[in-house]
Amino acid sequence: MIIYLNGEFVPKEKAVVSVFDHGLLYGDGVFEGIRAYYGRVFKLGEHLDRLYEGAQALCLKIPCSKDEMREIVLETLRRNKLRDAYIRLVVTRGPGDLGLDPKKCHRAFVFCITASIVLYPDELYEKGMSVISVSTRRNIPTACIPRVKSLNYLNNIYAKMEANLAGMPEAIMLNNEGYVAEATGDNIFIVKNGVLITPPSSAGILEGITRNAVMDLAREKGIAVVEKLFTMFDVYTADEVFFTGTAAEVIPCINVDGRIIGDGVPGEMTRELITAFHELTKADGPFIYPGGSA
Report the catalytic residues. 149
Other Cβ atoms within 10 Å of 115 Cβ, number? 13
CA separation for the pair 218, 215 (Å, rounded) = 5
CA separation for the pair 272, 196 (Å, rounded) = 12
SS3 254: strand
CA separation for the pair 181, 133 (Å, rounded) = 11
CA separation for the pair 283, 277 (Å, rounded) = 10
Query: With contact defined as beta carbons under 8 Å apart, do 244 and 210 qualify?
Result: yes
Q: Residue 240 phi/psi, 5° resolution?
A: -150, 155
SS3 97: coil
Q: Which of 31, 89, 82 shows the shortest CA–CA distance to 55? A: 31
